[in-house]
């Protein structure tokens, strides 16, 4: 069946709670092929709890012919709101014309204070349900001072006539866009110039140093485009850019990880430092202690930690980030940079450490990392996470399953306003 032939059904419903991905839920009753009925729960983008709306539900694509069925995965039906009968008091007008269709943002239609409160509730729920903490020490979300135009890094896909755009949610279809309201204004400026020319490659990457005005643009643009960018005040680089964080300059390559929201990254770096330093449990002078910055990226936390602690060990697996970290930490004399997987290196080092900063990717920590933290307890751990569900899982192991640590605080930090992504910082102290 082609997309044109797929049927659309309309339902008027009252929307339920937001799911983790930021969609509201709707229960509808539908008829099965054998004539009986069933109640199904749908995810409704751009909806809010308690709203009375009419939704359109497009039948999902039918399975392909038998030969190609092995790789086929059933997709949820496409759902969208066609009319709002009773709007939530939390609703605001979304800024972006492709909001609801684009895969980038999920919460533009929600008041910003409600977004940060919802993120706090999600972290709390995960700490209770996955972490097993009855009454978790949860702090309010640290909001972003400007919840728009904060992204310093965008990866655009190129569609049809060589124009950069974004991708539709749940599909690979490309959406032409003129500007993105969460991207830094200089990225939007560069996009408007690059979009006037043919882009031969499938992607265009832009990373902007908000403090330096330098931009990495890949692939390298032809000379006439580079001149137009220069005339618009954009200082284009191809290899690395520099960005400032907490008064320090960091060099970043396109393939190295760097936080996408510089203003919030600055607050996070301070939270990490405070989490390790502001306490009574280091009875010794911090300059006599050794701490680890595990999953260190280009060395942002390691550089700040090196000013307060005697020795810092920075661990990172990416060769590109390690190159940047070596440059960024070149003037320090008390940081050892180690290239490799944290799960391989940390178990060999844990006995000599006094404190940990861990900032793993979404998957959280590997079992051998948690095992090392349990076998060699330290006074303090600061655990930064971009996925509160894996963080709650790991905190459960460290604090409840083994009771080696006490959870002192968990604070969400809004690194990604207008989206359902959640960053949170947990501080643990030795319980034994």
Ligand X SMILES: C[S@@+](CC[C@H](N)C(=O)[O-])C[C@H]1O[C@@H](n2cnc3c(N)ncnc32)[C@H](O)[C@@H]1O
Q: Which active-site residues does the annotation give?
A: 386
Binding part of the chain for ligand X, among 142-150, 177-185, 207-215, 254-262 by CB under 6 A, reads: 254-262
DSSP state of 165: E
Binding part of the chain for ligand X, among 43-51, 94-102, 257-265, 397-405 by CB under 6 A, reads: 257-265
What residues have CB less than 8 Å from 199, skipping those under 6 apart?
A: 158, 162, 163, 164
d(CA 182, CA 203): 19
| Strands, E assignment, 115-221 | 153-159, 163-167, 174-176, 203-208, 214-218
d(CA 240, CA 260): 15
Tell me the two tokens of residue 82.
């066609």
Site for ligand X in 310-329 (CB under 6 A): 315-318, 321
Name which of 158 and 296 has its Cβ closer to ligand X. 296
Name which of 133 and 301 has its Cβ closer to ligand X. 301
Site for ligand X in 178-217 (CB under 6 A): none
Name which of 177 and 268 has its Cβ closer to ligand X. 268
Q: Is residue 375 part of an annotated ligand binding site?
A: no
H or E stretch covering 189: helix 185-194
> To the nearest whole angstrom, how small is the minimum distance from the Cβ of residue 392 to ligand X?
17
- 296 binds ligand X, rule: CB under 6 A: yes
Q: What number of chain residues touch ligand X (CB under 6 A)?
A: 19
Residue 251's CB: how many other CB atoms inside 10 A? Answer: 21
Site for ligand X in 76-135 (CB under 6 A): none
Q: What does the angle CA 315 – CA 316 – CA 319 come to, to the nearest 5 degrees? A: 135
- By rule CB under 6 A, what string of x and - marks binding of each residue 378-397 to ligand X? --------x-----------
Binding part of the chain for ligand X, among 169-177, 198-206, 251-259, 387-395 by CB under 6 A, reads: 251-259
Name the 3-class secondary structure at 237. strand
d(CA 11, CA 5): 19
Can you give the three-state secondary structure of 392-404, one letter per residue?
Answer: HHHHHHHHHHCCC
d(CA 95, CA 31): 37
H or E stretch covering 155: strand 153-159
> In 3D, which of 274, 271, 270, 265 has the Cα closest to residue 297?
265
d(CA 197, CA 225): 8
Q: Is residue 293 part of an annotated ligand binding site?
A: no
Name which of 156 and 250 has its Cβ closer to ligand X. 250
Binding part of the chain for ligand X, among 19-27, 96-104, 255-263, 392-400 by CB under 6 A, reads: 255-263
Q: Is residue 282 part of an annotated ligand binding site?
A: no
Q: Is residue 280 part of an annotated ligand binding site?
A: no
- By rule CB under 6 A, what string of x and - marks binding of each residue 33-52 to ligand X? --------------------
For ligand X, which residue of 99, 295, 356, 405 counts as binding (CB under 6 A)? Answer: 295
Tell me the binding residues for S-adenosyl-L-methionine: 259, 295, 316, 359
Binding stretches for ligand X (CB under 6 A) = 257-259, 295-297, 300-301, 315-318, 321, 341-343, 359, 361, 386
């Amino acid at each position: 069946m082609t997309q044109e032939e797929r049927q659309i059904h309309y339902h008027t419903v009252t929307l339920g709670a937001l799911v983790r991905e930021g969609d509201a839920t709707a229960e509808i009753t539908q008829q099965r092929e054998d004539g009986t009925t069933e109640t199904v729960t749908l995810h409704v983008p751009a909806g809010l709890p308690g709203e009375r709306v009419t939704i359109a539900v497009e039948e999902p694509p039918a399975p392909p012919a038998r030969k190609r069925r092995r790789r086929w995965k059933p997709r949820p039906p496409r759902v969208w709101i066609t009319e709002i009968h009773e709007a939530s008091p939390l609703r605001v007008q979304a800024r972006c014309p492709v909001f609801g269709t684009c895969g980038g943002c999920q919460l533009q239609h929600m008041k910003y204070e409600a977004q940060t409160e919802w993120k706090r509730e999600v972290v709390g729920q995960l700490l209770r349900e996955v972490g097993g903490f009855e009454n978790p020490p949860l702090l309010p979300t640290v909001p972003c001072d400007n919840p728009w135009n904060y992204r310093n890094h965008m990866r655009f896909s190129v569609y049809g006539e060589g124009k950069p755009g974004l991708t539709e949610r749940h599909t690979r279809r490309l959406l032409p866009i003129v500007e993105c309201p969460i991207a830094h204004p200089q990225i939007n400026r560069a996009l408007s110039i690059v979009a006037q020319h043919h882009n031969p490659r499938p992607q265009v990457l832009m990373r902007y140093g908000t403090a330096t005005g330098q931009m990495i643009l890949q692939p390298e643009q032809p000379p006439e485009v580079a001149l137009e960018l220069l005339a618009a005040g954009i200082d284009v680089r191809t290899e690395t850019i520099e960005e400032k964080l907490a008064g320090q300059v960091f060099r970043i390559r396109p393939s190295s990880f760097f936080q996408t929201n510089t203003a919030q990254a600055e607050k996070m770096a301070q939270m990490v430092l405070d989490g390790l330093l502001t306490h009574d449990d280091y009875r010794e002078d911090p300059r006599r202690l050794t701490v680890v910055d595990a999953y260190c990226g280009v060395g942002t936390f390691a550089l700040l930690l090196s000013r307060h602690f005697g020795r810092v060990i920075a661990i990172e697996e990416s060769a590109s980030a390690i190159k940047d970290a070596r440059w960024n930490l070149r003037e320090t004399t008390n940081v050892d940079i180690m290239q490799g997987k944290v799960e391989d290196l940390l178990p060999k080092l844990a006995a000599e450490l006094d404190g940990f900063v861990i900032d793993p990717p979404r998957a959280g920590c590997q079992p051998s990392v948690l095992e090392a933290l349990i076998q060699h307890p330290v006074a303090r751990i600061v655990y930064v996470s971009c996925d509160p569900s894996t963080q709650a899982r790991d905190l459960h192991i460290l604090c409840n399953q083994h009771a080696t640590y006490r959870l002192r605080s968990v604070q969400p930090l809004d690194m990604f306003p207008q989206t359902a992504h959640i960053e949170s910082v947990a501080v643990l102290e030795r319980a034994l």
